[in-house]
């Protein structure tokens, strides 16, 4: 049974049942008579919470934050259902090849490991299958869910994205001037009068421009860990190992990048030969900044003690500060401004659809 038939069948069951009857499966919302199932919500929120537990464990453990995530996830499912129903009303078609392409796109995310190395096709397929099993989805259920998401996306593209025009150059220039003034002044508070989403976008864009124009140093590093709970003897051992590693590097008995790959105890950067990219003056940790900006290119720091262990830094490249240049950033700013407008129009469009819909929410407590 495909997605639309399943939803229609569920809606008919709901409409036919007397008020006192129990619906066959628990729901978290009902949109124009079509249920948003608790089981679907649970799959979505499990994915969200899994991400937060890995990325920010403290936030994930906060009951208030967990409640907010549940509410946001429910609204996303309601939004998707409203858009899906609008797509059905507009007779928008989702073809099998659209779903096939969507499946291929999802599968491609399993084609590389965390270090960016290619994964054998059979292993990638097995990882994909395990992910579906962990989410409690069969392959057909996954395709149905994907079809519904594609339908929602097509509605958005037709009703919103196609109507968002690029900004005029004078408007891009005015936005750039506001960003430049904010960056040059060193202010931490954005200009007043912007909505929350616009403020967040402004700060993100300003941060990106600052990172590309501020004084910055490209650094590689090696980490030799110790636990904060370890004894002073363990710290001394780690320090001695860091000093010995530094001595061998200074004497030319070892290569920094190769040593980082073999000995550094942070997998992400070790795989890149210790390269962590650019440190920006005023943003980097104080001890790192002091060492990195004072060293000449090609030189290496003494061991730097932190809460997690001792670091050795090597300066690869230095770039002086430069004023933000409109010509350099105007194309990306134009795209960013279009995206801000698109997000506003999308929010307004979905809000209007929800305003004309009959929606009941029944989110169970934590």
Is residue 150 within 8 A of residue 142, CB to CB? The reply is no
Is residue 256 within 8 A of residue 274, CB to CB? The reply is yes
pLDDT digits (tens, 9 = 90+) for 272-307: 999 999 998 888 888 889 999 999 999 999 999 988
Q: What is the mean pLDDT of the chain?
A: 87
pLDDT digits (tens, 9 = 90+) for 10-59: 332 233 333 333 344 689 999 999 999 998 899 899 989 998 998 888 88
The pLDDT value given to residue 302 = 96
d(CA 93, CA 154) in angstroms, rounded, equals 9
CA distances from 117 to 120, 123, 295 (A): 10, 13, 33
What is the largest distance, in Å, between two alpha-carbon atoms of the chain? 84
CA distances from 267 to 34, 179, 270, 273, 321 (A): 47, 36, 5, 10, 31
Query: pTM score > 0.75 for this model?
Result: no
Q: Where are the alpha helices (DSSP H) in the chain?
A: 3-16, 38-55, 57-61, 63-89, 96-108, 121-134, 139-159, 169-185, 196-213, 232-250, 256-263, 267-270, 286-294, 326-355
Please, what are the domains in the chain? Answer: 3-159 (1.10.4030.10), 166-213+326-345 (no CATH), 216-319 (3.10.50.40)
The pLDDT value given to residue 25 = 61
Res 146 pLDDT > 60? yes
The separation between the first and the last C-alpha atoms of the chain, rounded to the nearest angstrom, is 33
Instruction: From 252, 251, 273, select the one nearest 262 (Cα to Cα).
Output: 273
| Averaged pLDDT for residues 87-116 | 90
Is residue 73 within 8 A of residue 52, CB to CB? The reply is no
């Amino acid at each position: 049974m495909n997605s639309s038939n399943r939803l229609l069948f569920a809606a008919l069951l709901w409409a036919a049942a007397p008020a006192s009857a129990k619906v066959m499966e628990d729901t978290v919302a009902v949109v124009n008579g079509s249920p948003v199932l608790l089981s679907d919500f649970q799959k979505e929120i499990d994915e969200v919470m899994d991400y937060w537990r890995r990325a920010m464990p403290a936030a994930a453990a906060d009951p208030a934050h967990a409640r907010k995530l549940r509410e946001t996830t429910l609204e996303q499912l309601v939004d998707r259902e409203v858009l899906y129903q609008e797509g059905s009303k507009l007779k928008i078609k989702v073809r099998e090849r659209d779903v096939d392409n969507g499946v291929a796109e999802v599968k491609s995310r399993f084609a590389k490991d965390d270090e960016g190395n290619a994964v054998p096709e059979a292993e990638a397929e097995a990882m994909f299958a395990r992910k579906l099993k962990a989410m409690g989805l069969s392959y057909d259920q996954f395709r149905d869910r994907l079809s519904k998401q594609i339908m929602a996306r097509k509605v958005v593209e037709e009703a919103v994205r196609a109507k968002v025009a690029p900004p005029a150059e004078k408007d891009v220039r005015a936005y750039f001037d506001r960003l430049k003034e904010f960056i040059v002044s060193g202010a931490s508070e954005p200009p007043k009068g912007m909505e929350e989403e616009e403020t967040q976008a402004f700060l993100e864009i300003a941060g990106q421009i600052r990172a590309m124009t501020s004084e910055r140093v490209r650094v590689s590093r090696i980490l030799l860990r110790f636990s904060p709970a370890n004894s002073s003897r363990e710290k001394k051992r780690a320090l001695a190992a860091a000093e010995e590693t530094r001595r061998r590097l200074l004497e030319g008995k070892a290569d920094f990048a190769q040593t980082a790959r073999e000995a550094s105890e942070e997998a992400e950067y070790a795989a890149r030969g210790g390269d962590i990219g650019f440190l920006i003056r005023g943003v980097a940790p104080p001890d790192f900044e002091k060492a990195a900006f004072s060293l000449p290119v090609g030189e290496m720091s003494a061991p730097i003690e932190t809460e997690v262990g001792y670091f050795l830094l090597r300066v690869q490249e230095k770039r002086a500060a430069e004023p933000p240049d409109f010509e350099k950033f105007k194309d990306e700013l134009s795209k960013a401004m279009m995206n801000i407008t698109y997000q506003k129009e999308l929010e307004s469009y979905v809000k209007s659809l929800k305003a004309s819909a009959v929606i009941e929410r029944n989110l169970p407590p934590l």
